[in-house]
Amino acid sequence: RSYLDRIKTEDDALNSFITVTETQALSQAEAADQRRSAGEAGTFTGLPIAHKDIFCTQGVRTSCGSRMLDSFASPYNATVIENFNTAGAVSLGKTNMDEFAMGSSNESSFYGPARNPWNNDCVPGGSSGGSAAAVAGRLAPAATGTDTGGSIRQPAALCGITGLKPTYGRVSRYGMIAYASSLDQGGPMARTAEDNAMMLNVMAGFDPKDSTSIDKAVPDYTLALNDSLKGLKIGLPKEFFSGEIDPQITTQVQNAIREFEALGATIKEISLPNTHLAIPAYYIIAPAEASSNLSRFDGVRYGHRCEEPADLEDMYKRSRGEGFGEEVKRRIMVGTYALSEGFYDAYYKKALQIRRLIQQDYVNALSEVDIIMGPTTPHPAFKLGEKSSDPIAMYMEDIFTISLNLAGMPGMSIPCGFANGLPVGLQLIGNYFAEERLLNASHQFQ
Ligand code: GLN
């Protein structure tokens, strides 16, 4: 009730929710009370949570931030949603996001941008900007997000919260509307690493409904939180501390790393030599996959359909023309072009080869060190509108997060200070399935 009240008074300013499910929340809370009085309560029983509007929720609008799905209520629940429901969590509603998760500022949302609670003139980051703003603004204690190129870590950094992108395949993508299937991964967003660990306990696991889900035992992520960091080898990639980066960010990140040294960790400079190729490779691979995934929105089965189509082709064209926003159309055009006959080898195949090199950089680095650290973003939160007319400037904001999705490894962002009164994020990167190590290091720091 207290969170629902806070949403009522604060969300006009933050616009962090697309849909608030008050009736459902109250009935889930009542069911949780009953479970509690029957002595059956677990960690999440009765705990309020908000879900990114990319996760399908049965009977509840699932818009993905798009006009295309504005009136779409899913007939089924995503596995992540089902897991939280089974654990007894109370869903407060669905959070704002960039349209189809394409963006770094939440400004591509059909519902208007969410705003940064630290400064309402600034973006909360994206694409999971609504989830980050809701948690940072104390409108929800926890929220789900998804990360294709940084969409959990970047908004977590800009809003001063903690977010984790798990290893690709660790969390089921079933019912998570696909953007770029080989990169998309759901994960937790909350105030602390400890909260992230509890959420990941619910979210992670094999799902036969997702062919890329990995059948590997799920540890209790809270158990390793208090391990000592003595002897932990931290690698600092020189590419993450050069180029277009706000010096205040560098200072805050370096201060944080000194604290890790004080906790017993050792530091080593490393190199991820292909980092500069990550953005170009990603902006071939992700749009290519998106152009294919988004072909299902044709006005026939579900989603927006134009008024009075003259014939089938007119219906496709106008339904898609009206339903998708500018950035989504740009990605579909780029992706379709890159996959066209004659261009495939020059662009898509080349991008896949670069992807392998980037992955190899991480594999090599993580054979020398336990954790890689650096800034999550090159700048703190920027002003609304500042980059919205310059797609390349927007893409560059993901310079430190995007390469990790190409490699498939887990990464986290935790708050590590302020620049001009706005939060700064420290990024931690680990080897495949090293989520426990990332959570442990983050918890010790926090
Ligand atoms: N900003 C990146 C993009 O627009 C990443 C988005 C994401 O991780 N969903 O593709």
pLDDT tens for each residue of 292-302: 999 999 999 88
- For residue 36, name the pLDDT band (cuts at 50, 70, 90): very high
Segment 147-168 shows an average pLDDT of: 98
Please indicate whether residue 411, judged by its CB atom, sits closer than 6 Å to ligand 1. no
Q: Would you place residue 426 in the very low, low, confident or very high pLDDT band (cuts 50, 70, 90)?
A: very high
- Using the mean position of ligand 1's atoms as its centre, give its distance from the Cα of residue 103 in Å: 5
Structure tokens of 335?
Answer: 């992706």
150 lines ligand 1 (CB under 6 A): yes
Length of the chain: 446
Nearest to 441 by CA among 269, 266, 270, 268: 266
Note the pLDDT of residue 243: 84
- Is the beta carbon of 65 within 6 A of some atom in ligand 1? no
What pLDDT, on the 0 to 100 scale, is given for residue 241? 95
Cβ count within 10 A of residue 289: 22
**Separation of CA 184 and ligand 1 centre (Å):** 9
Kindly state the percentage of the chain with pLDDT values over 70: 100
* pTM as predicted: 0.98
Is the C-beta atom of 148 inside 6 A of ligand 1? Answer: yes
Report whether residue 99 contacts ligand 1, using a CB cutoff of 6 Å.
no
Three-state helix/strand/coil letters over the chain: CHHHHHHHHHHHHHCCEEEECHHHHHHHHHHHHHHHHCCCCCCCCCCEEEEECCECEECEECCCCCHHHCCCEECCCCHHHHHHHHCCCEEEEEECCCHHHCCCCCCCCCCCCCCECCECCECCCCCCHHHHHHHHCCCCCEEEEECCCCCCHHHHHHHCCEEEECCCCCECCCCECCCCCCCCCEEEEECCHHHHHHHHHHHECCCCCCCCCCCCCCCCCCCCCCCCCCCCEEEEEHHHHCCCCCHHHHHHHHHHHHHHHHCCCEEEEECCCCHHHHHHHHHHHHHHHHHHHHHHCCCCCCCCCCCCCCCHHHHHHHHHHHHCCHHHHHHHHHHHHHCCCCCCHHHHHHHHHHHHHHHHHHHHHHHHCCEEEEECCCCCCCECCCCCCCHHHHHHCCCCCHHHHHHCCCEEEEEEEEECCEEEEEEEECCCCCHHHHHHHHHHHC
What gap in Å lies between CA 146 and CA 137, rounded to an integer? 19
Residues with Cβ within 8 Å of 155's Cβ and at least 6 positions away in sequence, in order, are 106, 124, 125, 126, 127, 128, 129, 131, 132, 133, 145, 163, 189
326, pLDDT greater than 90: yes
pLDDT in tens, 100-157: 999 999 999 999 999 999 999 999 999 999 999 999 999 999 999 999 999 999 999 9
The owner of tokens 């295309």 is: 68
Distance from the Cα of residue 101 to its chain's centroid: 8
pLDDT at 244 (0 to 100): 87
**What average pLDDT does this structure show over 196-203?**
98
Give me the pLDDT at residue 59, please: 97
| C-alpha dihedral sign at 63, 66, 68, 70 | positive
* Residue 52: active-site member: yes
pLDDT at position 304 over 90: yes
Top-confidence residue, 344 or 258: 258
Among residues 370, 379, 369, 427, which one has the least CA distance to residue 403?
427
How far, CA to CA in Å, does 13 sit from each of 7, 17, 92, 173, 189?
10, 11, 18, 31, 21
Task: Report the Cα–Cα distance between both ends of the chain, in Å, rounded.
Answer: 29
Centre a 10 Å sphere on the Cβ of residue 378 and count the other Cβ atoms it contains: 17
Q: Which of 170-179, 270-279, 386-395 has the lowest mean pLDDT?
A: 386-395
In tens, the pLDDT along 231-246 reads 999 999 999 998 889 9
Is the CB of residue 151 below 6 angstroms from any atom belonging to ligand 1? yes
pLDDT at 322: 98
- Residue 407 confidence (pLDDT): 98
Phi/psi for 432 (5° steps) reads -50, 130
Burial 120-146 (b: 16+ CB within 10 A, else e): eebbbbbbbbbbbbbbbbebbbbbbbb
- Catalytic, 295? Answer no
Residue minimizing CA distance to atom 10 of ligand 1: 102
Distance 348 CA to ligand 1 centre (A): 18
The burial of 425, by beta-carbon neighbours within 10 Å (0-12 exposed, 13-18 middle, 19 or more buried), is given as buried
Task: Tell whether ligand 1 has an atom less than 6 A from the beta carbon of residue 405.
Answer: no
Pocket test of ligand 1: the residue of 106, 151, 189, 330 to mutate, having most ligand atoms within 8 Å of its CB, is: 151
The verdict on ipTM greater than 0.90 is yes
- Whose tokens are 């089938």? That residue is 312
Give bridge partners of residue 383 from the DSSP assignment.
122
Per domain, the residue ranges of the chain are 2-203
376 alpha carbon to ligand 1 midpoint, in Å?
14
Out of 54, 96, 104, 131, give the residue to mutate to test ligand 1, the one with the largest number of ligand atoms within 8 Å of its CB: 104
- Look at residue 430 and tell me whether its pLDDT is greater than 90: yes
Catalytically annotated residue among 108, 131, 151, 213: 151
Tokens standing for 328? 């989504």
Whether 195 shows a pLDDT value over 90: the answer reads yes
Binding site membership of 253 for ligand 1 (Cβ less than 6 Å): no
- Average pLDDT (363-382) is 98
pLDDT tens readout for residues 46-80: 999 999 999 999 999 999 999 999 999 999 999 99
- What is the arithmetic mean of pLDDT over 407-425? 98
Q: What is the CATH number of domain 2-203?
A: 3.90.1300.10
